Amino acid sequence: MNDPVNTLATSAGYGQALPQAERHRVLRNTYWLLALSLLPTVLGAWLGVATGITRSLTGGVGLIVFLAGAYGFIFAIEKTKNSGAGVPVLLGFTFFMGLMLSRLIAMVLGFKNGPELVMTAFGGTAGVFFVMASLATVVKRDLSGMSKWLFVGAMVLMVGAIINVFVGSTAGMLAISVAAIGIFSAYMLYDLKQIIDGGETNYISATLALYLDLFNVFQSLLSLLGILGGERD
């Protein structure tokens, strides 16, 4: 299920531009917190796979739990991002997202080459991040105009993903996964450029946006690899 929940976090815009030293501080803190946020994600995914706690979250029930939890956490993060509670709430969110991801991971691990597919999706996501981070440092033009087009694309993607939850089309899932990889890779470039240019002034908000970009790219890559490359015993 590809749900572009980061549209809520990215649609509100960014603050005033920061001096160069402050931009570097925000970027550095964002990278550290982003790396830290992966630990609860892995823990949540491992717990979900090991216990099967999310196995019953299918169809409409799974969609409601995911959207309610994700948007609830995003709202809480935005409310606490300027306080000491911001980081713990963000890490709680990443644990929840790992838990929600565990059902897809468990399905892929059911293939004979499941572990290889998971590692390929992880490597591919890391590769996308490296490319987008590199581009963000060399692109000189202002990319703020991308925001409205990315938002529209993400909303269309969300509607398509919700419809496909009930339709269950494999072709639809393939199309959504490919589109999600493209849209959230572009979102990654946009969010990184905003930090580098000083448009994003809060490292917790910056981490949230980048985490959701990475999550959606990884989830979509894993879905795509599972559909196209899964080998059954």
Rounded average pLDDT over 77-104: 94
More confident residue, 111 or 61: 111
More confident residue, 1 or 22: 22
Question: Is the model's pLDDT at 193 over the cut of 80?
Answer: yes
2 occurs within a structural domain: no
189 occurs within a structural domain: yes
5 occurs within a structural domain: no
Question: Is the model's pLDDT at 123 over the cut of 60?
Answer: yes
Interval 20-60: pLDDT, tens: 788 889 999 999 999 999 999 999 999 999 998 877 777 67
144 occurs within a structural domain: yes
Contacts of 26 (CB under 8 A, 6+ apart): 18, 195, 198, 200, 201, 202, 203, 206
The one-letter code for the residue type at 13 is G
By percentage, how much of the chain surpasses pLDDT 70? 91
78 occurs within a structural domain: yes
User: How many domains does one find in the chain?
Assistant: 1
Interval 210-232: pLDDT, tens: 999 999 999 999 999 988 887 67
Interval 165-187: pLDDT, tens: 888 788 888 999 999 999 999 99
- Residue 27 belongs to domain spanning: 16-229
Rounded average pLDDT over 61-75: 87
184 occurs within a structural domain: yes
199 occurs within a structural domain: yes
- Which pLDDT does position 56 carry in this prediction? 74
27 occurs within a structural domain: yes
- Which pLDDT does position 16 carry in this prediction? 47
Question: Is the model's pLDDT at 10 over the cut of 50?
Answer: no
Residue of 63, 75, 125 whose CA lies nearest to 100:
63
